[in-house]
Structure 1
Amino acid sequence: MNCQFGNSYTSIQCEDDLTIYFDEYMGYLFVAIGNESSAHMKRYINTCVTIIRYLCGPDVYQLKAKEEKSKLASRLIDSWIHLNSNDQAVFVEAVEQLVVNADLSSATIKALRESVDKLAPQIECNKIHALVLIQNRFLSLYSSQNAKELSSADILFSILLCQSTNLNQSDIQKTSNQITSHQILLAGPDRYPKCLPHVVHIIPLSESVSLLYLLEIGNPAVAASLYENFCHLHTMQLVQIQRDKETLRPAFENLDLATRRLNDSLKKNKNTAIENSHKQLMKKWEVIRKKYQEYLKNTSDEALLRAETLALGFLENLKELLGLTAVDGSVLKYSSKYMKEAAKIVKEKLSVFEEFLKAKSIKNFSLGSYPFEQ
């Protein structure tokens, strides 16, 4: 239905009120089966896709290739199910912000600023967000001047990360030496593609308080153009099945433009592995581009078939470049060494408010209206 007519099914109703729901992302079909309400199932499957986008970006195959990612995805989905049933803020897809007095608000921002100012030169990163959560509630956020704005979806995902690692649960006793770290791809503000590479460190400050540092890594221009290439290549793979030149032409032009942008963004890169992968990608694209142009000019099925075959190798190069530019294990390992000292600043500044924060983690009356954007 989707390939031939551009009209895919979103659900199938079965006997005994059982319904099968579908969603698609980067060529992968997501299926959810249940007898809950239609609205709930749609939110569930949309949330699953969103979580995977945060963990894998446009390369969904990582769920199969990397077991730790698939396990984390499962924990995050389980966390969402729990919070959706027990937390009103998550249920209405909003970020619940604690209402505190001016003294606590000022002290928190000052502590976060001091910790970020100390951390930035140590880890050679000037794009940092520092976030304090009380249980599953948002207390305060400080972002360095060069850091791109966090979206409400980014904050909600951060809450899910904390929940999934059990850092905010009541059975944790003053475990400030425990740090949980992940590499993720944030959504960022609306004007950016949903593929901004970050390292996140989660540090429990007390039984109910968690501190998160989000470090922007890589090149945002490379990340943006890579994401565009994945999207437009996926569109090409869908429309070329129809063998309709008028549909294929704009899809090809968009992919060609995205590839040129990626080429421009990678030209100044000095990393040998990235340079080699970049050269291979562009060599493959030159051949593919000529084959698509040949088809658009002469309607040569042989040329289109050759382009389709070569596109598989092109996709593998895109995945390789994504791994080289969006994933940096050295940054994750190196930066984690400095997290404890930075966190001490925040912990000491907030220690005088500890009992108050414990009480606020249980009872809070204000619900912020920050919509969760898929």
Structure 2
Amino acid sequence: MNGLIVFNSANDVAYQNLNGDLTEKICNIAIAQGLVPAGSVMTPGAALDSNVLLQIFSPIISSQRIMHCQFDNAYASFQCENGFNLAFGELLGFTFLKIGQTEIEQLMRQLGVAMTLTRYFYGANLFGVQAGAMQQELLTLCLNCYESQLWQEEQAYLLEALPKLLINTELKRTVHVTLDATLEQLRQTGGQQRAHALLLVSHKLVALNSTRQALPLAPADLLFLAILARALQSQKSQRAVAVFLQGVSHDVNSGCVPCIVHLSRLHGHQVLLQIIEYGHMPLTSSIYDTFFVLQKIVAVQQQGDADALKPAYESLESFVSQTLTALKRHLKQKHEDLESCVKKFTARWENLRKMYVEFFKSFERELLVRIESNLPAFVEELKQLFTLSLASCDSASNQQLDQLADSAAVVEAKLLEFAEFLAVKAARNMSIDAYLEDFPGLVHFMYVNRSSGQMLAPDLRQNSPQLLPKSKLWHMVEFTRSYLKRGQTTVMWKDRTFHYSYFLWFEDLSGGILKCTLDLHQHFLSTGFGAGANGQKTPAEPGALPMDYYSELAELCFPKLSPGKVRVYELYCIHLGLVTATCAVEHARRLVATISDVVGEETF
């Protein structure tokens, strides 16, 4: 059984994605409670009645909200009989309920991925009626692809990093020149100053080129685009979708980057993704951050924390002011609907601001009640403003879709003579056999650059399943993550067959080792770790999708260095059990150097 249900602030069902077993289980409960007639049969693939879900789960969700609002101590998960578990998440006033017969740790990770994918498809206006059915369809498609196929079968999605295809320098240069020419054509003929071109072959990254003004992509963005390409692989060869990428965390405009992603399936298992940024970044970023600040002030008011209310209001006032300034600066020509929306939004804010000013003078409870009753309407106006401001930019980008299809055809033609070679190379990207002579006893390794979101590892299918069962690899990653969450960056252990080792370290841009003076273990024990973006409290789960764990870890260890100047690396090694710890450490050191030589001039 596996499923996800999302409830809005009124406890109504905003989204559901339940597999057949869970649907049948809930249907049986509904019959037993008299919510549906006895003998009712669910149509395969049909959604359950939202009212039925509401009546069954409302006590749990209401209890969750009470624990959050009155005690600031919301449930993280429930463990039930027969391995039936529930995990809770909160995003912009929506409660995410993940249900499944799996371990809590895995359920929490799947929940984090579901929330991240939701943000990628909806931006700030989660499950908004203006978004239409396409966003919900894409979310369901990607969720099902990730949970039923990718996460369980492929090491790239287990590690949450995109595999890098190793090709010779001349071919690499040809690919980059081709993608650069494509971006230049988009700039000259379509006026697209902020764009990316990404080429995948058999789901491995060949090259990523970007224009100078484009916001750099985050590791999570790369992984999301790869999941999107996989989920749509059975669709038609050309597809364009609107998404909201994250961007690198240290950029002021990151968090919500509106993009049009055009996917083209070329010859020889090649997939070209052309990504066009179309929003006004300062405006989009301000509106996006305002949603989170609004959610914070709602939580503070519900908890009755008078001391925290004024700082929360001042933060809200700052972001609303930024939004209004950005509207005047970037949207000078507004269509009638947007102009009307801006006026309504400004009027509602002015009304709300006056009530807050009066409240801070007298702290009368009646004024706070009036504020709380006016907030929902203000939130709706903000959602409408977010949608209309993007629509005014989106229409211009949609006119360029034909040009993107033409660009894809040009790329395919230029790379046609290399297509078969790239397909064969992707199928045999790296083999452990090439390393056995220099590293006797080495069974498998995974080398990950967490700053770029890329990884290098021998393909699993090239290993004999009898030599390295996949279950061993999956258990190794989960085991090391459990220690990393306690602040341990080096872990080594053995079982009856294998010797496992894990290393995490930091480098500067020149490749020099950066040593962290902070005792991570003691720090994590005393303070915990994992405050997510925009101040939202999230579980500290290592990975790229639930949260940018490694970026926050780098900022924690090196607060005086710019985040863009610190690189985070991980190395997983599996040796035969006879290999000693000293030998494993030496192998790890030489393996990193060897891979650097193989990769060549391009920094991994």
- TM bucket, shorter chain: over 0.9
After TM superposition, the structure 1 = structure 2 runs for residues 131-150 of structure 1, keeping only pairs within 5 Å, are 131-150=198-217
- Superposition TM-score, scaled by structure 2 size: 0.58
After TM superposition, the structure 1 = structure 2 runs for residues 61-80 of structure 1, keeping only pairs within 5 Å, are 61-62=127-128, 66-80=132-146
SS at match of 2:233: coil
Contact 1:22 1:32 survives alignment (8 Å):
yes
Aligned residue among 101, 113, 123 for 2:168: 101
Which segment is superposed worse, 118-127 or 207-216? Answer: 118-127
Q: What's the counterpart of residue 213 of structure 1?
A: 274
Aligned residue among 93, 97, 121 for 1:27: 93
Note the alpha carbon deviations across 1:337-371, whole angstroms, 9 max, x for none.
11222112211221121111111332322854335
Contact 2:242 2:260 survives alignment (8 Å):
yes
Cα shift at 1:227:
0.8
Task: Give me the whole-angstrom Cα distance separating, in 1, the residues matched to 2:115 and 2:410.
Answer: 37
Greater helix fraction, Structure 1 or Structure 2: 1
Which segment is superposed worse, 61-70 or 185-194? Answer: 61-70
Cα shift at 1:331:
3.4
Q: What's the counterpart of residue 247 of structure 2?
A: 188
Is 1:119–2:182 an aligned residue pair?
Answer: no
Q: What's the counterpart of residue 18 of structure 1?
A: 84
Task: Give me the whole-angstrom Cα distance separating, in 1, the residues matched to 2:328 and 2:289.
Answer: 17
SS at match of 2:400: helix
- Superposition TM-score, scaled by structure 1 size: 0.93
Given residue 210 of structure 1, which amino acid in structure 2 is its aligned partner? V
Is 1:336–2:401 an aligned residue pair?
Answer: yes
SS at match of 2:206: strand
Task: Give me the whole-angstrom Cα distance separating, in 2, the residues matched to 1:349 and 1:331.
Answer: 28
Unpaired runs of 5+ residues, structure 2, are 1-66, 431-445, 454-543, 548-604
Matched residues, percent identical?
Answer: 28
Cα shift at 1:241:
1.2
Is 1:271–2:370 an aligned residue pair?
Answer: no
Contact 2:355 2:367 survives alignment (8 Å):
yes
Contact 2:241 2:260 survives alignment (8 Å):
yes
Note the alpha carbon deviations across 1:220-241, whole angstroms, 9 max, x for none.
0001100111001111111101
Q: What's the counterpart of residue 17 of structure 2?
A: none
Task: Give me the whole-angstrom Cα distance separating, in 2, the residues matched to 1:147 and 1:243.
Answer: 43
After TM superposition, the structure 1 = structure 2 runs for residues 201-280 of structure 1, keeping only pairs within 5 Å, are 201-268=262-329, 269=331, 270-272=333-335, 273-280=337-344
Q: What's the counterpart of residue 387 of structure 2?
A: 323
Cα shift at 1:116:
1.1
Contact 1:127 1:147 survives alignment (8 Å):
yes
Q: What's the counterpart of residue 375 of structure 2?
A: 311
SS at match of 1:142: strand
Given residue 235 of structure 1, which amino acid in structure 2 is its aligned partner? K
Unpaired runs of 5+ residues, structure 1, are none
Q: What's the counterpart of residue 91 of structure 1?
A: 158
Cα shift at 1:121:
2.6
Task: Give me the whole-angstrom Cα distance separating, in 2, the residues matched to 1:83 and 1:4.
Answer: 39
Q: What's the counterpart of residue 550 of structure 2?
A: none
Contact 1:56 1:63 survives alignment (8 Å):
no
Cα shift at 1:61:
2.6
Task: Give me the whole-angstrom Cα distance separating, in 1, the residues matched to 2:213 and 2:413.
Answer: 26
Cα shift at 1:251:
1.0
Contact 1:85 1:91 survives alignment (8 Å):
yes
Contact 1:193 1:227 survives alignment (8 Å):
no
Q: What CA RMSD, in Å, does the superposition of the two structures yield over aligned residues?
A: 1.8
SS at match of 1:338: helix
Is 1:291–2:291 an aligned residue pair?
Answer: no
Cα shift at 1:316:
1.0
Which segment is superposed worse, 329-338 or 185-194? Answer: 329-338
SS at match of 1:98: coil
Given residue 75 of structure 1, which amino acid in structure 2 is its aligned partner? L
Given residue 243 of structure 2, which amino acid in structure 1 is its aligned partner? I
Contact 2:194 2:211 survives alignment (8 Å):
yes
Q: What's the counterpart of residue 449 of structure 2?
A: 369
Cα shift at 1:207:
4.3
Cα shift at 1:63:
7.1
Given residue 365 of structure 2, which amino acid in structure 1 is its aligned partner? D
Contact 2:69 2:299 survives alignment (8 Å):
yes
Is 1:346–2:417 an aligned residue pair?
Answer: no
